[in-house]
Amino acid sequence: MAEKTIMLCCAAGMSTSLLVSKMQASAKEQGLDYEIFATAASDADQQLATKKIDVVLLGPQVRYLEADFKNKLEGTNIPLAVIDMTAYGMMNGPKVLQQAIDLMK
């Protein structure tokens, strides 16, 4: 089992798949045993119920769901943030991974 689990949420779970690949490569380079996956925002509840999630990152295109996610995560100690728009647009896996790591500290 992975040491930490990072869940990325976007509109359909597809647009973040390349970013997930780049984050996984960066984690591997750093020797981090992280599970990183993307899911559709509509499937987030099931993922949260069935996996031990350490941090949730929202794609910029679903920023409007941030308040809903804050309510869902209330009392769970799971940090939440919207992925930096520039890092997302550039598919900068190392930068987004660092954002997640900083949230888990």
Per-block mean pLDDT, blocks of 10 residues, the chain (105 long): 94 85 97 97 95 97 96 96 96 98 96
Q: Residue 56 has what pLDDT? A: 98
Is 10 marked active-site?
yes
Query: Two tokens at 19?
Result: 């970013």
Q: What is the pTM of this model?
A: 0.95
* Rounded Cα distance, 104 and 33, in Å: 14
Question: Which CATH number characterizes residue 83's domain?
Answer: 3.40.50.2300
Domain total for the chain?
1
Set 6, 8, 10, 48: catalytic member: 10
Q: Residue 13 has what pLDDT? A: 67
The domain in which residue 14 lies consists of 4-104
